[in-house]
């Protein structure tokens, strides 16, 4: 089963932020580090040279040879199962005995609505409290919080406590549910491969488990294994295996997981000597884990393995190569059906697929992460640029062009050298170090500071479609969404503090106008001063107040506050758009910056200054609407499923003559509409009319002009809608050339999404 890639997959466990000493330690453990790196289906770029594809196929065919049916469970059963369990059972018994001795005093449990219940310490559990409230609640909830900490539902209260409950629909519930499911996936993998598990976290859309192949050293994980793994998962679910918790000392942990060098490493480096942590058992599986979990595996009603990939232990390619299994699970089978439909639809809309089918762009291994825009993709790209440029002229932005590479001294001034150097392409130029710009801001600061500025010039709005390079790891690259080279609709507004509110309101107006053209809805969030910040607290408070005012005026009561989530150099407004599949993306940014104007010593002459000696710092607002054009086109491709609205379509019209004797007229019509600025083709091939029409429809043309003798005489075309739905299919209309041109011009200018004349 192949599944699309809702998020770019990283070929490493990056994001785990491994401590360097852990990485160094594992380097010494590293064996077979070069094994099986090529199983990640997502890492395949859209267009690979033919030779490479062939090589892959051969590999696959070879894999098929040793695909002798494997037993469901690894035989003989690995010793580590019995070893782990024996130790677990002994420690569990000790712990239960200890608990039995605890004082069973009466405690007060405070419910979320403030009501109180009496209970017994070390006996009453959150689950019992939930059952008393209602049976349906107890069946629905996934996890509880006790005194603010996530807490296993069956784990007894220890003292007077407050309790809250969370179901699968809550972020807490989802994480716990998917985290628990990862244990079941790990259990299946251990039983099937005799593998050595590493880490198995929940993700934003499911979970994965990462493993070294252990006793199945000669094998790697393959999609053909998924059925057997899913059968083991089903049996674990049927068994309703309880998640049981035991606290274990570091020495005992090292003994319990002595067969597994990854767990050994994690225990040695993460758990201080003389301390303890918890392990959880479900079925035969015991895993190092702080929990908490769902009460038992039976709560999982549907679970699927989606894909596999390769990674490195702790994300370092000098370490062992590991195998990853990705899964998804739900508390309701209906949700799984819906999810699978969503995946199918997303696969159909995948911009990498449509980009290839419509010949919009491709990638080449000679420049990974840098897109080659083909003629039709370039049309879309330029249409977007032209649109933004026309909006700039209306809205008082001035376009500038700044260099692509700068001496490292600029990056030292901006702070990028200290904080961002690893993500930049650095190159030597005449014994000095230069770097390609990862953003336009420092260049715009140099422009602002290039001469004396007066308050009369503010606000200054510099916009630039500058080419930006960021050194993303090759394994992290994915289609147009994770690239190394891109262009943003970037602008920097230099203004006085008193102008912030007005400027931000203008930004909102801009956003609304643009997103409306694509049919995106959006929501706004304000992120305020974090604990670590630079600058004057008075300036922060004032700026935050102004942003709040702007939000209150623009979307009263409909924006959210993220206290403490702002950047250290200024508060920001996050804008999230929602596409046709209700997926959310952050494209636009409105970020205030008190830092760069300081670092570049930017200043302007104030109005109160008679002698010309009084200066103030401007505030800088970083602002983008589309964000990266590359990514925005990817989002649009999937949002429209490749059916481009007329105004941004790379294939607007195709003229199809019904007989050879009107080819001349067909070409005349094509020339005429091309000259009027519409992307028009004529299909003069020898195919049948039916085939040509079908080809035009699948090719994505907005309008099909059929021309015969009658149309030629009338100086007209027979217009068919190339995006017709089943309801509007077959409708056609003979329209004069003048009339159709007028209607098309109108459709283009109004930028309507609907494909109607
Ligand atoms: Zn766990
Ligand atoms: Zn910027």
- Based on the fold, state whether residues 104 and 231 are members of the same structural domain: yes
Same domain, 218 and 324: yes
State whether 262 and 149 are in the same domain.
yes
Sorted by sequence, the CB contacts under 8 Å of residue 382 that are 6+ apart come out as none
State in Å: Cα 290 to ligand 1 middle: 6
- Of 612, 638, 664, the residue at which a domain comes to its end is 638
Backbone phi, psi, residue 602, to 5°: -80, 140
In this structure, is residue 490 part of a structural domain? yes
Please state which of the ranges 1-5, 136-140, 274-278, 498-502 shows the lowest mean pLDDT: 1-5
Could you confirm whether 492 is annotated as catalytic? yes
622 part of the active site: yes
Helix 261-270 with 20-29: angle, nearest 10 deg: 150
In a domain, 755, yes or no: no
Residues 498-526 have pLDDT tens digits of: 999 999 999 999 999 999 999 999 999 99
Residues 218 and 309 in one domain: yes
For the question of residue 453 being annotated catalytic, the response is no
Q: How far is the CA of 623 from the centre of ligand 2 (A)?
A: 7
Rg of the chain, C-alpha, whole Å: 31
CATH number assigned to the domain comprising residue 506: 3.30.930.10
Residue 442 shares a structural domain with residue 571: yes
Residue 616 has pLDDT above 70, yes or no: yes
Count of domains for the chain: 3
Query: Bigger pLDDT: 731 or 602?
Result: 602
Mean pLDDT calculated for residue range 16-36: 32
452: confidence class by pLDDT, cuts 50, 70, 90: very high
Ligand lying closest to the C-alpha of residue 596: 2
Let me know whether 183 and 255 are in one domain: yes
Task: Dump pLDDT digits (tens) for 537-572.
Answer: 998 999 999 999 999 999 998 999 999 999 889 999
Report percent pLDDT > 90 for the chain. Answer: 81
Q: Are 223 and 263 in contact (CB under 8 A)?
A: no
Same domain, 93 and 151: yes
pLDDT band at 536 (very low <50, low <70, confident <90, very high): confident
Is 356 part of any domain? no
Given this model, what pLDDT does residue 40 score? 34
Residue 419 in domain: no
207, 114: one domain: yes
What mean pLDDT is predicted for residues 247-272?
A: 95
- Domain end, chosen from 590, 620, 638, is at 638
406-440 pLDDT, tens digit each: 999 999 999 999 889 999 999 999 999 999 999 99
State the distance from the centre of ligand 2 to the C-alpha of 512, rounded, in angstroms. Answer: 21
Cα dihedral value 371, 374, 379, 382, nearest 10:
30
357 given a catalytic annotation: no
Dist. CA 721–CA 730, nearest whole Å: 9
Cα 208 to middle of ligand 1, angstroms: 12
**111 belongs to a structural domain:** yes
647-684: pLDDT as tens digits: 999 999 999 999 999 999 999 999 999 999 999 999 99
Considering the chain, what is the average pLDDT of its residues? Answer: 89
Residues near ion ligand 2 (Cβ under 5 Å): 441, 622
Q: Are 549 and 588 within one domain?
A: yes
408 located within any domain: no
CATH of the domain at 43: 3.30.980.10
Kindly list the distances between the CA atom of residue 76 and the CA atoms of 72, 80, 81, 215, 692, in Å, as whole numbers in the listed order: 12, 11, 11, 10, 62
Query: Of 610, 638, 666, which residue is a domain's last?
Result: 638
Q: Respond yes or no: is residue 572 known to be catalytic.
A: yes
Residue 31 Cα, ligand 1 centroid: separation in angstroms? 27
Full-model pTM: 0.78
Distance 598 CA to ligand 2 centre (A): 14
Residue 565 shares a structural domain with residue 654:
no
Q: Which of 281, 461, 622, 692 is catalytic?
A: 622
412 in a structural domain:
no
Q: Per residue in 167-207, pLDDT tens?
A: 999 999 999 999 999 999 999 999 999 999 999 999 989 99
Which ligand number lies closest to the CA of residue 177?
Answer: 1
Structural domain harbouring 665? 646-750
Same domain for 633 and 663, yes or no, is: no
677-681: long-range pairs with CB below 8 Å, 24+? 677/748, 678/652, 678/653, 678/744, 678/748, 679/379, 679/649, 679/650, 679/651, 679/652, 679/653, 680/652, 680/653, 680/654, 680/655, 681/651, 681/653, 681/654, 681/655
Q: Is residue 409 part of a domain?
A: no
CATH number, domain of 666, equals 3.40.50.800
569/658 same-domain check: no
Catalytic residue among 195, 289, 441, 636: 441
How many beta carbons lie within 10 A of that of residue 234, not counting itself? 14
Beta bridge partners of 628: 488
């Amino acid at each position: 089963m192949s599944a699309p890639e809702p998020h770019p997959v990283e070929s490493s466990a990056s994001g785990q932020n491994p401590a360097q000493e852990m990485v160094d330690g594992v380097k010494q453990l590293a064996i077979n580090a070069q094994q099986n790196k090529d199983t990640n289906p997502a890492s395949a770029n859209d267009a690979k040279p033919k030779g490479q594809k062939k090589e892959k196929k051969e590999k696959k065919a070879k894999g098929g040879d040793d695909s002798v049916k494997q037993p469901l469970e690894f035989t003989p059963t690995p010793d580590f199962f019995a070893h782990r369990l024996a130790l677990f059972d002994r420690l569990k018994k000790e712990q239960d005995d200890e608990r039995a001795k605890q004082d069973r005093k009466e405690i007060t449990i405070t419910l979320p609505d403030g009501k109180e219940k009496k209970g017994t310490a070390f006996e009453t559990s959150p689950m019992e409290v939930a059952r008393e409230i209602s049976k349906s609640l107890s069946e629905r909830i996934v996890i509880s919080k006790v005194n603010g900490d996530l807490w296993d539902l069956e784990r007894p209260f220890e003292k007077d406590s407050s309790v809250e409950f969370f179901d699968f629909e809550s972020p807490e519930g989802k994480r716990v549910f998917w985290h628990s499911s990862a244990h079941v996936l790990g259990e299946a993998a251990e039983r099937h491969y005799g593998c050595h598990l590493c880490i198995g976290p929940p993700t934003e859309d499911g979970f994965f488990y990462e493993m070294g192949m252990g006793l199945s050293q000669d094998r790697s994980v393959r999609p053909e294994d998924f059925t057997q793994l899913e059968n083991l998962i089903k049996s674990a679910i049927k068994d309703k295996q309880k998640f049981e918790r035991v606290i274990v000392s570091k020495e005992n942990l090292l003994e319990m997981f002595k067969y597994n060098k990854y767990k050994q490493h994690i225990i040695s480096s993460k758990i201080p000597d003389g301390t303890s942590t918890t392990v959880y058992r479900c079925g035969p599986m015991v895993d190092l884990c702080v929990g908490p979990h769902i009460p038992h595996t039976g709560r999982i009603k549907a679970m699927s393995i989606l894909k596999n990939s390769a990674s490195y232990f702790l994300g370092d390619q000098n370490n062992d190569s590991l195998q990853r299994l990705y899964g998804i699970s739900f508390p309701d089978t209906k949700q799984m059906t819906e999810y699978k439909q969503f995946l199918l639809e997303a696969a159909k809309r995948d911009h990498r697929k449509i980009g290839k089918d419509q010949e919009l762009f491709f990638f080449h291994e000679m420049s990974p992460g840098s897109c080659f825009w083909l003629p039709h993709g370039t049309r879309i790209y330029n249409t977007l640029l032209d649109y933004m440029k026309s909006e700039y002229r209306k809205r008082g932005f001035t376009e500038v062009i700044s260099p692509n590479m700068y001496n490292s001294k600029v990056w030292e001034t901006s702070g990028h050298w200290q904080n961002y150097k690893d993500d930049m392409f650095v190159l030597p130029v005449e014994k000095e170090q230069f770097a390609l710009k990862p953003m336009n801001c420092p260049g715009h600061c140099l422009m602002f500071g290039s001469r004396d500025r007066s308050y009369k010039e503010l606000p200054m709005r510099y916009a630039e479609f500058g080419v930006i390079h960021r050194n993303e790891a090759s394994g992290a690259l994915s289609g147009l969404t994770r690239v190394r080279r891109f262009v943003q609709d970037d602008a920097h507004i230099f203004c006085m503090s008193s102008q912030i509110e007005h400027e931000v309101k203008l930004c909102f107006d801009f956003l609304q106008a643009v997103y409306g053209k694509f049919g995106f809805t959006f929501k706004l969030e304000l992120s305020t001063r974090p604990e670590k910040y630079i600058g004057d607290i008075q300036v922060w408070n004032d700026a935050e107040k102004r942003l709040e005012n702007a939000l209150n005026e623009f979307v009263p009561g409909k924006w959210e506050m993220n206290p403490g989530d702002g950047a250290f150099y200024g508060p920001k407004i996050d804008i999230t758009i929602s596409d046709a599949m209700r997926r959310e993306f952050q494209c636009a940014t409105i970020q205030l910056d008190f830092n760069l104007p300081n670092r570049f010593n930017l200043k302007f002459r104030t109005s109160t200054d008679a002698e010309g000696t009084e200066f103030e710092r401007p505030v800088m607002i970083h602002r983008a609407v589309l964000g990266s054009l590359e990514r925005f086109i990817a989002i649009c491709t999937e949002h429209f499923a490749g059916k481009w609205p007329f105004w941004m379509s790379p294939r607007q019209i195709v003229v199809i003559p019904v007989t050879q004797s009107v080819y001349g007229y067909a070409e005349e019509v094509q020339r005429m509409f091309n000259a009027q600025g519409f992307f028009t083709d004529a299909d003069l091939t020898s195919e049948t009319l039916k085939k040509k029409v079908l080809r035009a429809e699948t090719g994505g043309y907005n309008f099909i002009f059929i021309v015969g003798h009658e149309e030629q005489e009338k100086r007209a075309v027979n217009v068919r809608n190339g995006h017709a739905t089943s309801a509007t299919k077959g409708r056609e209309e003979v329209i004069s050339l003048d009339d159709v041109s007028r209607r098309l011009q109108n459709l283009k200018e109004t930028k309507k999404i609907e494909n109607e004349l």
